[in-house]
Amino acid sequence: MTTPTRPLYWSVRRELWENKSVYVAPLAAAAVLLFGYAISTITLPRRMQAMQALDPGRQSATVTMPYNVIAGLVFVTAFIVAVFYCLDALHGERRDRSILFWKSLPVSDLTTVLAKASIPLVVLPLVVFAIVVAAHVFILALSTLVLAGNGPGLATLWTHVRVLQTAVALLYALAAISLWHAPLYGWLLLVSAWARRSAFLWAVLPPLAIAVFERIAFQSSHFGRWLGWRIAGWFMQAFMPRVKGTAVEPLAAMTPGRLLTTPGLWAGLLFAALFLAAAVRVRRRREPI
């Protein structure tokens, strides 16, 4: 009995084979921070001793700072990788004329575009999740080893660090980011399929021109603020705003109900579907550069 072909699965595998930066760049970013944290553990017992005088809220913020920093850096690295991947995903195959070979295979344009869209929307978030969780476990294990002879410091560490709860919140955050940024990735893939050259400029110039026009004509910056909200607004919708000086549990800070009832989320997903459908049609008709 022959095994049926799985075009989407193998298309995603091909993207990973050809774009190693999808996992190499986040790994490199995490490795740099972990190396720096390993060096900083020289003064960890002294810092944990001084931390005993702080209130619980500040203790939590100080103890969890390395975990938040490494997660934030890997998030930003993955976002940059996703942006440049999308810009080159459909443009690169026309530039090196490999599109002629891939079109000769029994793989539809829809499958190809969906495979490329799955990298920033599904694969990269899973890669980030695995890297950040592994980094958090490493930091906790190393800190525990360094503080083995410091009872109060070790107790403070394990009181405020909850790896399992943080992992659940992290997975939720990555899902929220993927849904929130879906129209951005759809737009970049559409530009990648359409532009003959300088895909980055074609992706950036239209929104920049709209923002400049609004500023000159109406002395306002509503479009620019909307773009900022479209990129970073996911956090305010997916999580409870943190009050300074208070400690909030990772799971208690999640607000999935507010996220799923945000009209901007569903409008963005609609535009993402339209952009991807347009990218499929453009790829079907575009020739090599």
pLDDT tens per residue across span 101-151:
777 778 888 999 999 999 999 999 999 999 999 999 999 999 989 888 777
Single out the residue of 170, 159, 165 nearest to residue 252, CA to CA.
165
pLDDT confidence band for 176 (50 / 70 / 90):
very high
Single out the residue of 100, 77, 101, 84 nearest to residue 25, CA to CA.
77
Single out the residue of 289, 279, 272, 269 nearest to residue 108, CA to CA.
279
| pTM, full prediction | 0.90
Q: What is the full DSSP assignment across 117-159? A: HHIIIIIHHHHHHHHHHHHHHHHHHHHHHHTTT-HHHHHHHHH
Please state at what angle helix 56-89 crosses helix 21-40, rounded to 10 degrees.
150
Provide the 10 A C-beta neighbour count for residue 207: 15
CB under 8 Å to 45, separation ≥6 — which residues? 146, 147, 150, 153
Domain residue extents for the chain: 20-285
Note whether 119 and 22 are within 8 A (CB): yes
CB under 8 Å to 6, separation ≥6 — which residues? none
pLDDT at residue 216, rounded to an integer:
92
Three-class SS state of 253: coil
Tokens of 176: 């929220």
pLDDT at residue 251, rounded to an integer:
83
Note whether 289 and 95 are within 8 A (CB): yes
Q: Name the percent of the chain lying above pLDDT 90.
A: 58
Q: How far apart are CA 149 and CA 155, in angstroms?
A: 11
